[in-house]
Amino acid sequence: MISSKLMNKVSASAAALMTMFVTNTYAADLIAINSANQISIFNANSADDAVFTTITGAASGESFIGIDLRPSNSLVYGITQSNKIYTIDAYSGNSTFVANLANPVIAAGKSYGFDFNPVADIGGASSLRLVSSTGDNYAINVNTGAVTLATSLIPGFTGVSYTNSNASNPTTVPSSTALYYINSANDTLNVATTAFNNPSISIIGSLGLDVLSANGFEIDANGIGYAAVNMDNGFLKSELIRINTMTGQAEWVSTFNGTINGLTVAAVPEPETYAMLIAGLGILGFSARRQKK
């Protein structure tokens, strides 16, 4: 029979491990795709240890230009150089064709940033914002592939991310959202707070890093920005940086083992999931106390 002392130790250890799990999952789980058409889910503090899985199911020769987690259904969407939309399973790598872009707007030689607008997405409108390094600006309906041409931007924006995007609560429309832009031409963080088809974009501040391109940009539920960037440092490997969205200041986090083409946050477990886990730990502790008596 297991002693009550051992049960107490097991319960305490399980609680500690669960606390670590909950903290890491909520704050820093990211998904990335690389230039070899592989995908990985990993903790932000260990991008150099990310294990990548080959993406399957896409047409031969497809190359993904980016990915994002859709707020309304918690699926990862990707767009390819051949103007096709897919969903991708971050664990298995299996991809499923969704639609062709109605207008073939993806072109070679450009860097792209895209992100789902949570207000528009949950509200049923065209919700995927796509911008390019040359100033292209589009709103895309990923269900149909319809592309809306929006007002052109100044060149240099290679990463975009909306705020208040919570895929764990897909039926509640956020009261507001803002769109943040990384400008790799002048190494700044920028923001627009409304009218994203014709935005008024303001500079927040300097990144403090020499960025060639942002190959994926996300703002998590805590308002912390993460970006996969290629730096002007002579290396081909992408870097993961963390960005203070209040000041624009960026800090290096880790180095990927390769070149990244897209980055998004992983889905956050719902509060009910945490409650069930904590309740289970409570039962374990109660059982230990009963045995002790």
Residue 221 — pLDDT band, cuts 50, 70, 90?
confident
What is the model's pLDDT at position 18? 40
Query: If you average pLDDT over residues 111-132, what whole number do you get?
Result: 96
Name the residue type at position 145. Answer: G
Q: CA 243 from chain center: how many Å?
A: 14
Across the chain, mean pLDDT equals 86
Query: If you average pLDDT over residues 143-147, what whole number do you get?
Result: 98
Q: CA 281 from chain center: how many Å?
A: 30
pLDDT in tens, 52-84: 999 999 988 899 999 999 999 999 999 999 999
Give the residue from 83, 214, 199, 215 showing the smallest Cα distance to 152.
Answer: 199
Classify residue 30 by burial, with Cβ atoms within 10 Å: 0-12, 13-18, 19+.
buried
Stated pTM of the model: 0.84
Give the residue from 244, 160, 248 showing the smallest Cα distance to 204.
Answer: 248
Q: How many CB atoms lie within 10 A of CB 236?
A: 9
Task: Give the number of C-alpha atoms closer than 13 A to the C-alpha of residue 120, restricted to the C-beta side.
Answer: 20
Coil, strand or helix at 78: strand
Q: Is pLDDT above 70 for 244? A: yes
Q: Is pLDDT above 90 for 135? A: yes
**Exposure string for 191-203, b = 16+ CB within 10 A, e = fewer:** bbeeebeebebee
Contact (CB, 8 A) for 138 and 129: yes
Residue reference for tokens 């904590």? 278
Query: If you average pLDDT over residues 151-170, what whole number do you get?
Result: 91
The domains located in the chain, with CATH, are 30-268 (2.120.10.30)
Give the residue from 251, 243, 163 showing the smallest Cα distance to 204.
Answer: 243
Q: Is pLDDT above 80 for 268? A: no
Coil, strand or helix at 91: coil
Q: How many CB atoms lie within 10 A of CB 229?
A: 29
pLDDT in tens, 12-32: 444 443 444 444 444 469 999
Contact (CB, 8 A) for 118 and 165: yes
What is the model's pLDDT at position 170? 76
